[in-house]
């Protein structure tokens, strides 16, 4: 599963290289880069994250990012709560107007390793998944260098999850593999620059 993700990431990197080569051959305007963070992920038990966007063509942009949450709350108690994860992702965004302004549609591919306790139930869930997401949203420039992006999507994930009796107990309560469908909300703040 991770090998497929690495292969996809390499293909994504090659696509950025081809887009830059095409820019050098044609006399095109400067391309826009953006770096940002998703505030909705920060609200998800303090999940630090970073996103990098590149407007590869007139209406098409490429994106990559990483979410990492190492935090545990009320550690060592029955109320121990955590939503630990390491999640890299790549994607494509189609802008209906111009990059970083107005409406967009997007697709993302993500892989994740996670450990969740006392969030969805009183059990501890640990596993890995690979997800494909389709979504749409809207972006507004706040100034010439900053914008805000609001979006929503639906993800379909193949997962392999082990369920434990609790966060402090190593006894396995069950295992589940299969398809998981879930929503995704985005509220991103981005810093833009041209190159």
CATH number at residue 175: 2.40.160
Q: Is 114 domain-assigned?
A: yes
Which residue range is the domain that position 22 belongs to? 2-189
Maximal C-alpha separation, the chain: 63
pLDDT band at 165 (very low <50, low <70, confident <90, very high): confident
Task: Please give the pLDDT value at position 2.
Answer: 60
Q: Which residues of 112-129 are buried (b: 16+ CB within 10 A; e: fewer)?
A: bebbbbbeeeebbbbbbb
Residue 195 lies inside a defined structural domain of this protein = no
In a domain, 194, yes or no: no
Pairwise pLDDT comparison (10 vs 33), residue with the higher score: 33
Coil vs helix vs strand at 194 = strand
Tell whether 29 is covered by a domain. yes
How many domains in the chain?
A: 1
Q: What is the mean pLDDT of residues 133-147?
A: 96
Give per-residue pLDDT as tens, 27-64: 455 589 999 999 999 998 899 999 999 998 889 999 99
Nearest CA among 47, 14, 9, 34 for reference residue 95:
34
């Amino acid at each position: 599963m991770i090998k497929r993700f690495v292969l996809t990431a390499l293909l994504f990197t090659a696509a950025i290289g081809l887009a830059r080569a095409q820019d050098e051959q044609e006399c095109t305007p400067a391309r826009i880069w953006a770096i940002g963070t998703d505030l909705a992920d920060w609200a998800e038990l303090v999940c630090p994250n970073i996103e990098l966007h590149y407007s590869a063509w007139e209406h098409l942009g490429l994106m990559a990012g990483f979410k990492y949450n190492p935090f545990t709350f009320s550690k060592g108690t029955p109320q121990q709560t955590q939503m630990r994860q390491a999640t890299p992702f790549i994607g494509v965004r189609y802008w209906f107007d111009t990059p970083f302004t107005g409406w967009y549609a997007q697709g993302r591919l993500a892989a994740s390793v996670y450990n969740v306790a006392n969030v969805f139930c009183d059990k501890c869930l640990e596993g890995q998944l690979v997800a494909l997401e389709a979504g749409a949203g809207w972006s507004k420039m706040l100034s010439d260098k900053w914008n805000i992006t609001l979006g929503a999507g639906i993800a379909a994930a193949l997962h392999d999850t082990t369920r434990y009796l609790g966060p402090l107990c190593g006894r396995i309560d069950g295992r589940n593999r299969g398809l998981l469908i879930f929503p995704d909300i985005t509220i991103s703040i981005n810093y833009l620059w041209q190159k």
